[in-house]
Amino acid sequence: MKRIVDEHYFTYSAYSALTPGIQVKCPRCRGLGMVTADKGKACFRCLSCGHQMTRDRMVYRYNVHNQCKNCGRYYRVDIEDETKQRFPALHVACPYCGTAMSGEVHKTAQKCFSYDAEIQDGKEPWFGLELWFLDAFQGKPVWALNREHLAYLIRYLSADLREKPPGILRKTQADHLPTFMKTAKNRDRIVKLLKKMQER
């Protein structure tokens, strides 16, 4: 009898996978690439062609705040257009009276990039790159973040007895799995699919 003690809820989340890396397809050569992160940036590196990308982990807010020369009121106007965010100063209209004035563009750190984001449409959330381990079962996506996550899925779905970790009353890693994967009639076929994915 195969027995497994389930993992903690965030063991194989997009956030925790950033240390060992999320395995993805390179947008240039379709070869194997890796998304990792440190305190400041998320990074992509293709292991086949060497293509690289970086993304700031911090989300910034850009705005012009000023005192209107016409009505005297203080105002703050957010700059959403990325092309305008690069300028040191912009002409913006006072939201109270409509008078256009030049003002300095201020860049402030708003929050750390949300690293608990979900995998959507088989793509990782930081660069929107397709996962390396991605397939479909009856039209529904089946994916893994990396080889470690893939091995966990095979162990969990192959087990005859699945237990929660001792002392854990809340959700476990299996709570991330969609119902169709955990349904008894589908498990054997999904395990076969996952094992085929392991050969990549």
Mean pLDDT over residues 70-77, rounded? 94
How many whole angstroms separate alpha carbon 200 and alpha carbon 195?
Answer: 10
Helix, strand and coil in the chain, % to nearest 5: 20, 40, 45
**Largest pairwise CA distance in the chain:** 80
pLDDT of amino acid 71: 94
Q: What is the DSSP letter of 47?
A: T
Q: Which of 15, 19, 35 is nearest to 27 (CA)?
A: 35
How many whole angstroms separate alpha carbon 164 and alpha carbon 69?
Answer: 65
Do residues 142 and 181 make contact, with C-beta atoms less than 8 angstroms apart?
A: yes
pLDDT at 113 > cutoff 60: no
Q: 10 vs 102, which has greater pLDDT?
A: 102
pLDDT digits 0-9 by tens, 75-92: 999 998 989 998 999 999
Q: 1 vs 17, which has greater pLDDT?
A: 1
Give percent of the chain with pLDDT exceeding 70.
Answer: 92
- Cα 151 to Cα 30, 92, 102, distances in angstroms: 23, 55, 58
Please name the residue that has the structure tokens 């929050």. Answer: 111
pLDDT of amino acid 39: 67
pLDDT digits 0-9 by tens, 153-186: 999 999 999 988 887 668 889 998 999 999 999 9
How many whole angstroms separate alpha carbon 68 and alpha carbon 99?
Answer: 7
pLDDT of amino acid 111: 55
Mean pLDDT over residues 105-110, rounded? 84
Q: What pTM, to 2 d.p., does this model score?
A: 0.72
